[in-house]
Amino acid sequence: MCGIAGQYCFSGGEPDRELLARMSRQLVHRGPDGEGLEVLGPMGLVHRRLAIIDLSEDGLQPMTNEDGTLRLLFNGEIYNYIELREELVQKGHRFHSHSDTEVILHAYEEWGTACLQRFNGMWAFVLWDEKTRQLFCARDRFGIKPFYYTTINGSFLFASEIKALLEHPDAGRRPDDEILGTYLAWGVQDHSDRTMFDGIFQLKPAHALIVTGDGPHTPYRYWELAVSPAVHSDTPRDEENARFLGLLRDATRIHLRSDVAVGTCLSGGIDSSTLAVLINTLIRDEAPASVSDRQKTFSVVFSDKQFDESRYIDEVVKATGVDSHKTEPAPDQLWEDIDRLIWVQDEPFGSLSIYAQYCVMRLAQKSVKVVLDGQGADELLAGYLAYQASYIRGLVHSRHFKEALREAAGSARFHRGFFSSAPKQVLVRRSRRSLLTVSVPPVDRYAGSLPEVLRRELCSTNLPALLHYEDRNAMAFSIESRVPYLDYRFVEYVASLPLDRKIRGGITKIALRSAIKGLIPESIRCRMDKMGFVTPEEVWMKETLRPFVLAVLGADSFRSRPYWNAGAVMADYQAFLAGRSAYSPEIWRIVCTELWLRKFFDARTGDGAVSATTAS
């Protein structure tokens, strides 16, 4: 796990060493264990190291092959590196380290760009070929690891975080109004190769990019996910459960490969609880040194019982005997942390649940260097309740009327509160979009059949943003976050399952609930609510954060923005405070955007730098 950056001068000239050094300093939190800077003709390479596998100097980067013709910068982990290394040794390759980084070099030598198909892990890397003067850039299948780039004056600049690119004075000088407006109106981000900074792009998940002396070529997709449209399963349940749990267990096992301590994020929900229990079985059966003899878990709790999951967390702790660590985020502390949190994230974020995760990573930093988390399971297994409407609609369109009635009855039985409040919330959010003065294209995350929705959510409209938040929050504290549910073998298997193994009778995540019966406490396996690392956002925005929000909305800078009607926003917020209108996330998105604009544009220095400590 690391931070990478670089400059390729494809139209002549030499890389700017001072620029590269500044980019490196912006990424120090991603790699406090070492740094590397190398210039090879037109190519400048920067690496910040977070040592996880092979802690020796043999793992330093940029890493070269035996004849010195290749240079590699790598951020991430290749979890099947042991198996790939054995295969490559049999093919005659000689290794000088025990790192997964070196496996990428030899895999590229053996299979070329097709090596991407063989990796199981998370990655953003560049390979510089000294012979051909070609730069090969690639990002993992789900975009777990970030990769940003821009082209300025004949130079291709790339980095793990946008703030490093901003060290070039001409990079990202103004917002991309359409992408920012789409976020404000619909709450989606990371759904496109464009970012909220004009002219700065991201390599999309499952894409690769080649840069030559002619400049960057068009990125291409190297992996595709297909979600089965079949409604019914005819596979015996025992066989399906064994396959499901076997794949998830093996994914968890290889995600524990590490030469430093590994812990687990535990929310009390079904996904993270399953991981915690699986890890405990692996401790018993295989004794992974990275976990030791007692697993450490990290959780958020709240004194407000409406948002607190302590009783579920405590049930897992009691069942497993894990070493439990808890933290309670506070709204007054949030406002002390908000400046750094916005700097960490690079772009505005959609809810204060991101702060809860930030606090969990701050807590984990005291004990471990790696955490496992349950990200991805909801999109894979249709865990969000809003997916049920798409499912029912798709069943009707495909003339599965009996199944549609069953699902409608199940939704009414188990989720009456959600579906009765949803229409009102839709109207509230539609009304708040009228506060905006930007014109943006419509976004309907739930349009189409359930398979179409799940694929979209996995690849563009939801999961990429969640992975963005997780990566930045973890790396803010020099922690590597791993997500076993996104092991591509497990993903492809779950995607191939019929829809009634995802939702049946209004119950979500059927395949997971069935496979883990007897493994985790029944009270958690049978939970119907969906929380995760949430915060009492509505309460905070009405009470403790009230003076801060009023100050933001009343500022001259806020009134000068072209994105909203400032007077109408203030009146709407005051109506919320007075109880005349319901809360919705649009309020926070507008506040967060104003703070972000101040941080990354108003306070930006002449040379482009953005400080982590600039007052907000």
Query: What backbone torsions phi and psi does residue 482 show, to the nearest 5 degrees?
Result: -120, 145
pLDDT at 534 over 80: no
- The mean per-residue pLDDT over the stretch 215-225 comes to 97
Give the CA count within 13 Å in the CB-facing half-sphere of 10.
Answer: 22
Cα separation, 229 vs 378, whole angstroms:
18
pLDDT averaged over the chain? Answer: 95
Take residue 83 and report the two structure tokens written for it. Answer: 């198996």
Q: How confident is the model at residue 85 (pLDDT cuts 50, 70, 90)?
A: very high
Cα separation, 511 vs 433, whole angstroms:
37
pLDDT in tens, 16-34: 999 999 999 999 999 999 9
pLDDT score recorded for residue 305: 85
Q: How confident is the model at residue 614 (pLDDT cuts 50, 70, 90)?
A: very low
Take residue 388 and report the two structure tokens written for it. Answer: 């049920």
- The mean per-residue pLDDT over the stretch 564-574 comes to 98
Query: What backbone torsions phi and psi does residue 502 show, to the nearest 5 degrees?
Result: -110, -50
- The mean per-residue pLDDT over the stretch 60-69 comes to 94
Q: What is the DSSP string of 297-315?
A: EEEE--SSTTT--HHHHHH
pLDDT at 550 over 60: yes
Residue with the two structure tokens 């009855």 = 409
The neighbouring-strand residues paired with 371 are 263, 481
Give the CA count within 13 Å in the CB-facing half-sphere of 344.
Answer: 25
Helix (H, G, I), strand (E, B) or coil at 465: helix
pLDDT score recorded for residue 474: 98
pLDDT at 330 over 80: yes
Give the CA count within 13 Å in the CB-facing half-sphere of 457.
Answer: 26
The pLDDT > 90 percentage for the chain reads 91
Ranking 272-281, 303-312, 385-394, 401-410 by mean pLDDT, the lowest is 303-312
pLDDT at 585 over 50: yes
Q: How confident is the model at residue 616 (pLDDT cuts 50, 70, 90)?
A: very low
The neighbouring-strand residues paired with 97 are none
Cα separation, 322 vs 367, whole angstroms:
14
Cα separation, 279 vs 283, whole angstroms:
6
∠ CA 318-324-326, rounded to 5°:
125
pLDDT score recorded for residue 613: 62
The neighbouring-strand residues paired with 296 are 323
Question: From the candidates 2, 265, 359, 459, which is the catalytic residue?
Answer: 2
Cα separation, 456 vs 445, whole angstroms:
8
For the question of residue 2 being annotated catalytic, the response is: yes
pLDDT at 531 over 90: no
Cα separation, 112 vs 117, whole angstroms:
11
Gyration radius of the chain's alpha carbons: 24
- Give whole-number Cα distances, 226 to 308, 487, 500, 565, 585, in Å: 37, 15, 17, 42, 32
pLDDT score recorded for residue 532: 55
pLDDT score recorded for residue 612: 74
Take residue 361 and report the two structure tokens written for it. Answer: 């990573």
pLDDT score recorded for residue 190: 97
- Which burial class, exposed, middle or buried, applies to 417 when counting CB atoms under 10 A from its CB (0-12, 13-18, 19+)? exposed
- Give whole-number Cα distances, 585 to 10, 54, 185, 416, in Å: 44, 43, 10, 22
pLDDT in tens, 411-469: 999 998 888 888 899 999 999 999 999 988 899 999 999 999 999 999 999 999 999 99
3-state secondary structure 37-55: EEEECCEEEEEEECCCCCC
pLDDT score recorded for residue 395: 96
Q: Give the list of residues 6+ apart from residue 50 with CB closer than 8 angstroms, or none.
A: 1, 2, 30, 31, 32, 33, 369, 475, 478, 480
Q: Are 51 and 57 within 8 A, CB to CB?
A: no
Q: How confident is the model at residue 607 (pLDDT cuts 50, 70, 90)?
A: low
Q: Are 5 and 159 within 8 A, CB to CB?
A: yes
Cα torsion 410, 414, 420, 421 to 10°: value is: -140
Helix (H, G, I), strand (E, B) or coil at 296: strand
- The mean per-residue pLDDT over the stretch 267-273 comes to 95
pLDDT in tens, 478-499: 999 999 999 999 999 999 999 9
Q: How confident is the model at residue 530 (pLDDT cuts 50, 70, 90)?
A: low
For residue 450, which of 514, 403, 386, 506 has the smallest C-alpha distance? 386
Where do the domains of the chain lie, and which CATH numbers do they carry? 2-221 (3.60.20.10), 237-384+432-525 (3.40.50.620), 536-616 (no CATH)
pLDDT at 606 over 80: no
pLDDT in tens, 231-251: 998 889 999 999 999 999 999
Ranking 270-279, 307-316, 340-349, 522-531 by mean pLDDT, the lowest is 522-531
pLDDT score recorded for residue 615: 35
Cα torsion 563, 567, 573, 576 to 10°: value is: -130
- The mean per-residue pLDDT over the stretch 4-24 comes to 96
pLDDT at 348 over 80: yes
